Structure 1
Amino acid sequence: MLAPLTDGPPPAGYSREGALGSVYRTNGVPGTRPLYSCLIGADSFPSLLADCEGRQVVGVLGWVYGARPATPATAVLYRCHTGQNDHFASRDPACEGRIVEGTQGHLIIG
């Protein structure tokens, strides 16, 4: 079963710009790994590391492909930073002109 990466309302002061793609809700799909929701203070960010890189672990967002599979169609998820203690996720390799912190797996699209 798939879940959009945009489940739940956005935090106060933010707006949803659209779905980035979907993740698997449960483990067991070959080639996937968990994507975690993490916190630094009030700032949330995605991480592929179970310990959230030493930060607070909120939980598992879902399971993403570690590498691009032949099928289904996927897009790379990038973790981005504004430089002002604010992270966001994007499918833009340039993070909309902000700081690129790395890839976070492949989301299912289409």
Structure 2
Amino acid sequence: MPKLTAQFVRDLPLSDAGQVLVIDDALPGFGVRVGALSKSYFAEGRVKGRTRRVTLGRADTITLNEARKLAMKALAEMADGKDRNAELKLQRAKLITLGQAVKGWLSDPCRQPGAGI
């Protein structure tokens, strides 16, 4: 595995099919995921015995140094037992769905026929 540099990441060709993971030698658990359309930095570690991979950002929007800092933070959190993916899943579950919003809007007494609007 190579040490990731900005030039190396920039020169990586996009994948023809699927994804290719390139892991950094300098920081284990940090790497770049190359897909058919884009490249993204990620951090991968174990949380409570399970492997978790967290996307840090697209390679065209954040620099390699920023991604390394984010990876060190994410890897430290994983070492402490924090699972970002599980937290995101809980946050998404708490959000109201469009169907629920429409149902609530339609059940508003002011929206009923003959309500005098």
Higher-helix-fraction structure: 2
TM-score normalised per structure 1: 0.25
Say which one has the larger Rg.
2
If asked which structure has higher relative contact order (CA below 8 Å, sep 6+), I would say 1
